[in-house]
Amino acid sequence: MADGKKSLTKPMEGQLNPDEQLIGGCKAAGKNAVLKGAVGGAVGGVVGAVAASQMEGKASPGIAAGVPQLQVFWVGATNQRLVFFDTGSFSSKPRSFKGDVPLSSVADVEVGNRGPFRRLTLTFTDGSSSTVDLYRANSPGQLQDALEQLLPGKVHGKA
């Protein structure tokens, strides 16, 4: 099993604030993004793109808009915020910083199972929410443990 924290350590070097430390991380995908990609590939071309776009729904409002819904990205938990990185074109390693969300804006975290993924739903203080799928092979337990440590009483469910 890959170590999410180890994978994110190098990309995080230029992103950490003073007194900030990376606690855990995991490779993720937007909710059903892998399924959307499979539909697009199986159906092909324009028809696949239309079918996949209809599966997406509307963009998240509020704080939740800061959580990527890419087919593959990385999420890390520091003692101050959640951070997001995209991947390279030919690699699933974390590459460039996509954004962050302060931990103080997280109101609730729900964790559950979804086939080969662990599903993570983040609800924010403004009432918005975002759901992502965590890859089981890339230490979702490490990210969940980090969130439980950083957000005591706000993390529910176990996968």
Q: State the Cα–Cα distance between residues 127 and 105, nearest whole angstrom.
A: 10
- Give domain limits for the chain: 4-12+20-156
pLDDT band at 46; cut points 50, 70, 90 = low
Indicate the CATH number of 4-12+20-156 among 1.10.10.60, 2.30.29.30, 1.10.10.1100, 3.40.190.10: 2.30.29.30
For residue 42, is pLDDT > 80? no
Q: What does the pLDDT read at residue 138?
A: 79
Q: Express each pLDDT in 121-138 by its tens digit.
A: 999 999 999 999 998 877
Q: Express each pLDDT in 12-25 by its tens digit.
A: 998 999 999 999 99
DSSP class per residue in the chain: ---HHHHHHHHHTTTPPTT--EEEEEEEEETTHHHHHHHHHHH-HHHHHHHHHHHH-PPPPGGGGGS---SSEEEEEESSEEEEEEE-TT--SEEEEEEEEEGGGEEEEEEEEETTEEEEEEEETTS-EEEEEEEGGG-HHHHHHHHHHHSTTTEE---
